[in-house]
Structure 1
């Protein structure tokens, strides 16, 4: 459960054919090894029906922390990690409803 001030983000990546394991390793490595000020939690998933599709659901303290992380990632080597992907990672900021 998140409080009203946190931000939940869905990150979706799709591996190039034959590079599914490399994409899995890159995703986990990026999440586990880089400093992410403001990251509350991250859970990673693989699509059971598409072994090349990976997702991370992250909770951030606020939108500013997530935006700062994305700027830092773009400036510091995200392009190397995305070489095994069919397309750039997709990020979606989610808001609870109801």
Structure 2
């Protein structure tokens, strides 16, 4: 298995009628993700210029850690709050 770091960068474009639910779920999502084994950095923040856009930047130490993160979040309050909201992500490795 590759030991390359996994980088995810992009954004989630939240409809204004769902923004409060996303904001409410975000602190726990960030806290739980940063505590995961293999999470090197994790930031999600509202764009200062584009309403409803949350910029995302993640770095995991390897594909296994990234995949474990993806699996954990599938049933999380964050997944529920952001279900079916468009995302634009670029995932790469080094």
Please report the TM-score for the alignment, with normalisation by the length of structure 2. 0.70
What RMSD in Å do the two structures reach over aligned CA positions? 2.7
Secondary structure (helix, strand or coil) at the match of 2:74 reads helix
Report if the CA contact (8 A) 1:10-1:58 is conserved: yes
1:13 matched to 2:22? The reply is no
1:35-63 CA-to-partner distances (Å, cap 9, x unmatched) read 42210112233222212000121110011
Q: In structure 2, do the counterparts of structure 1 residues 11 and 65 end up closer, same or farther at CA, with 3 Å as the change threshold?
A: farther
Report if the CA contact (8 A) 1:42-1:57 is conserved: yes
Q: What's the CA shift for 1:76?
A: 4.0
Gaps of 5+ in 2: none
Please report the TM-score for the alignment, with normalisation by the length of structure 1. 0.68
Q: 2:31 is matched with which residue?
A: 32
Report if the CA contact (8 A) 1:17-1:52 is conserved: yes
Question: How many matched pairs?
Answer: 91
Gaps of 5+ in 1: none
